[in-house]
Amino acid sequence: MLGVISIQYVAEFGYMAASALFMLGLIKLGKVKSARQGMSWAAFGMAIAIAATIALLFADDHWSTKSVLLAAASAIAGSALGYWMAIKVPMTSMPEFVAFFNGLGGLASTFVALAEIPRAAHLQLSLADLGDKDHPGEGAMFAIAAGLAVLIGAVTFSGSMIAYAKLAGKVNKNRAGPLGSQGLNALLGVASIALGVWGGFFVSDPAQIYVAGGALLVVSLVLGIGLTMPIGGADMPVAIALLNSYSGIAAMTTGFVLQNNLLIVAGSLVGASGIILTQIMCKAMNRSLSNVLLGGLQDAGDGGGAKKDEGYTKVKTTSAEELAQVLDSATSVIFVPGYGLAVAQAQHKVRELATLLEKKGAQVRYAIHPVAGRMPGHMNILLAEADVPYEQLYELDKINDDFKNTDVVVVLGANDVCNPAATQDPKSPIAGMPVLEVWNARTVVVVKRSLASGYAGIRNELFQMDNSLMLLADAKKALEDTVTELKAL
């Protein structure tokens, strides 16, 4: 008995160490230099957590040989698959990858909570009675937490899969029949709560418990699809950040099911992280979260009729040759990357051009808008992959005042993040959104495949300003040609 108790103590201290390592790891993630070390601390914390759990399960005789075999086989399979995917995934597909992983995390929490159902059915108890141990209210907490874990985990899973499909370009629609409408979502929300309460408190018949659990799972999965469908493809940074948060919240609720503080700590940290990223993204678009979730801007853009390519009367187009000449005489250059850069996979070409310009004595910087790309920090990892030093990447408010002292700004597949309407036209749908004021530079060259509008569906006066030139081409091709021309000069 003494042995068991002391192992429980040791395991509990192990959980505390793991919690501390997660927090320290995230603190170290606050600086580029210590980030890697921070993540290895967090990974070490995870190893301690797993070891402590296994020790605890053995000490209490919860684990048989069968348990060991099942756990080992699943863990090895999962680890191998996870490692393989992590090594294989190209940096340009990182948004889809993160969305996919989010979904798996959510589903894991759902399954942990669902596993209580066969146990309750086996003992012919209701979930609330199953969770009742020595304190009043414990059973209710157990039943509610289990229901929430199934609900939130399943919403995370199906929502993430839709986000994944949208990011991978497999789904573009915002509606599919009644799916995605607010009415159906509200109905599904009410149904999930009703099922959770019924299944958690009022049934002890095995068949009925199974029905309640299965129905809750299905309703939650459909709800996740319905909640993510209306979010526009370009609003995915917000969706992924929010789903990231959900996966943490799902893990946190399983902590209340299993009465485990470590799950609550780790889940809360992830939940808080996702919520902060969501806030940052919304602020960078000057929109409220509800506006993003309901796909508000998308509708406004469609109705406005401004989505056409036409309407630009005095656009000056240019060529790679001319761009090379303009850059040749520049002493300061700022690149503004956007999603187009990621699509064209032009990050290495930018780096090549930048190196060439630096050799000629020009100062080269990159201006990164918070919502450029398809996930928070998307541009930063792409440019990091191309060996662009991170000191050359500047945030919006750090570089916005410098555009007026800059010779050439090259906009690469970005649009709305440098639309002057945001600061000049109070009636514009994006009025008030913080934008990169590239038009203040001496010359702006916009490299873009067409004059089509961005996600906001509005025209961009930047395209026909006196000091701007349009280079209508794929970013990679355009940069490649510019490098060749510049070398020939």
Partner 1 sequence: MIAVIAAEGSSSLPFLIVGVWVLLLSVFVGFIIIQKVPPTLHTPLMSGSNAISGITIVGSLYCVSVEYVEASTVCAVLGCLAIAMAMINVVGGFAVTNRMLQMFKAKDAPKSGAKS
Catalytic residue list: 416
Q: How far is the CB of 51 from partner 1 (least distance, A)?
A: 11
- CA-closest candidate to residue 226, choices 288, 295, 287: 295
| Cβ contacts of 93 within 8 Å, gap of 6 or more | 168
User: Rule CB under 8 A: is residue 350 a binding residue for partner 1?
Assistant: no
Q: How far is the CB of 246 from partner 1 (least distance, A)?
A: 10
4, 5, 123, 176: residue in contact with partner 1 (rule CB under 8 A): 123
Helices within 168-288 (DSSP H only): 182-197, 206-228, 236-258, 261-284
7, 59, 125, 141: residue in contact with partner 1 (rule CB under 8 A): 141
Binding mask 260-289 for partner 1 (x = CB under 8 A): xxxxxxxxxxxxxxxxxx--x---------
Measured from the CB atom, the residue of 39 and 191 that comes closer to partner 1 is: 39
Residue 392 vs residues 37, 346, 364: alpha-carbon distances, Å? 23, 17, 7
Residues of this chain, 223-252, that bind partner 1 according to CB under 8 A: 240-241, 244, 247-248, 250-252
Considering Cα of 43, then 45, then 51, then 56, what sign does the dihedral take? negative
Measured from the CB atom, the residue of 49 and 203 that comes closer to partner 1 is: 49
54, 179, 187, 465: residue in contact with partner 1 (rule CB under 8 A): 54
Residues of this chain, 9-28, that bind partner 1 according to CB under 8 A: 22-23, 25-27
User: Rule CB under 8 A: is residue 209 a binding residue for partner 1?
Assistant: no
The span from the CA of 314 to the CA of 277, in Å, is 39
Task: Name the DSSP class of 72.
Answer: H
Measured from the CB atom, the residue of 393 and 483 that comes closer to partner 1 is: 393
Terminal Cα-to-Cα distance of the chain (whole angstroms): 83
The span from the CA of 278 to the CA of 245, in Å, is 9
User: Rule CB under 8 A: is residue 327 a binding residue for partner 1?
Assistant: no
Measured from the CB atom, the residue of 351 and 476 that comes closer to partner 1 is: 351
User: Rule CB under 8 A: is residue 3 a binding residue for partner 1?
Assistant: no
Within 13 Å and on the Cβ side, how many CA atoms surround 376?
20
Q: What are the strands, taking DSSP E only, across 354-442?
A: 363-368, 393-395, 408-412
- Written as one string, the DSSP assignment of 309-366 is S----SPPB--HHHHHHHHHT-SEEEEEE-HHHHHHT-HHHHHHHHHHHHHTT-EEEE
Measured from the CB atom, the residue of 32 and 489 that comes closer to partner 1 is: 32
Burial class (CB in 10 A: 0-12, 13-18, 19+), 314: exposed
Task: Work out the angle at residue 338's Cα, subtended by the Cα atoms of residues 292 and 156, and round it to the nearest 5 degrees.
Answer: 40
User: Rule CB under 8 A: is residue 49 a binding residue for partner 1?
Assistant: yes
Enter the tokens of residue 299: 């509708």
User: Rule CB under 8 A: is residue 205 a binding residue for partner 1?
Assistant: no
Residues of this chain, 410-439, that bind partner 1 according to CB under 8 A: none
Q: How far is the CB of 145 from partner 1 (least distance, A)?
A: 9
Q: Evaluate whether 337 touches 351 at the Cβ level (below 8 Å).
A: no
Q: How far is the CB of 33 from partner 1 (least distance, A)?
A: 8
Q: How far is the CB of 368 from partner 1 (least distance, A)?
A: 7
Residues of this chain, 380-409, that bind partner 1 according to CB under 8 A: 380-381, 384-385, 387, 389-395, 398
From 51-59, 416-424, 427-435, 466-474, span contacting partner 1 (CB under 8 A): 51-59
Q: How far is the CB of 316 from partner 1 (least distance, A)?
A: 29
User: Rule CB under 8 A: is residue 323 a binding residue for partner 1?
Assistant: no
92, 114, 230, 463: residue in contact with partner 1 (rule CB under 8 A): 114
The span from the CA of 240 to the CA of 221, in Å, is 17
Residues of this chain, 65-94, that bind partner 1 according to CB under 8 A: 66-67, 70-71, 73-75, 77-79, 81-83, 85-87, 89, 91, 94
Give the strand order in the sheet containing 408-412.
Answer: 393-395, 363-368, 332-337, 408-412, 443-448, 468-472
Size of interface with partner 1, in residues (CB under 8 A): 127
User: Rule CB under 8 A: is residue 299 a binding residue for partner 1?
Assistant: no
